[in-house]
Amino acid sequence: MKLRRTTTSRRSLTLAAITAGLALTVAACGGDGGDDGDKAKDSATPTASTSRSGGAEPSAPAASADKVLAEVKGEGGIALSVTSADRDTGGFLTVQGTVTNGTGKAWVPVNWRGDERELMANGGSIAGAALVDEAGKKKYLILRDTEGRCLCTRFTGGVRNGETATWYAQFPAPPEGTTKLSFQVGAMPPAPIEISEGE
């Protein structure tokens, strides 16, 4: 008899503990799900508005990218723009810009890769570009690696008619006092640019 009572009371305690545990679990899941859902909705709105306001900040660099230091036209309808010329702390000068093809057909800048045999492997690229310091009577060529690959844009497949492509080119930085240079590539007219100090 004592054994039966003990077993019954143990079963009752176990059943009560399981029931209480399930009740707490259901309440916790139901409560958290509702709160998380509300929190998710609440946090989704600020995140969206943050990304919208954050999107406004990236548009500022885009606006500065639209700032044109120089623009030249030539070669039967090619327009070249220089949008930045930043001196880096590592002793490099990075020049960036755009090229727009208005020739009426696909354009591959074969003559922009330069005349040097080493640069021929760069294909349609801007490897033949140079910076000219007229006051200091110096010419700076695009940097290249040990295999002759330029530190510059390669226009793989060329640029279709009416399209605009971005480009960059890295040069050795001229001395600190030198800020005004001329960017030259292919048969395009020289584009006078001014260097800005990088961060």
Q: Looking at residue 198, what is its pLDDT?
A: 58
| 3-state per-residue secondary structure call for 66-118 | CCCCEEEEECCCEEEEEEEEEECCCCEEEEEEEEEECCCCCECCHHHCCCCHH
Q: What is the mean pLDDT of the chain?
A: 75
Spatial separation of the C-alpha atoms in residues 157 and 50, rounded to whole Å: 39
Q: Which CATH number fits domain 70-197: 1.10.3720.10, 2.30.30.40, 1.10.8.60, 2.60.40.10?
A: 2.60.40.10
Confidence bin at 124 (pLDDT 50/70/90)? confident
Model pTM score: 0.64
What is the residue extent of each domain of the chain? 1-60, 70-197
Q: Looking at residue 156, what is its pLDDT?
A: 87
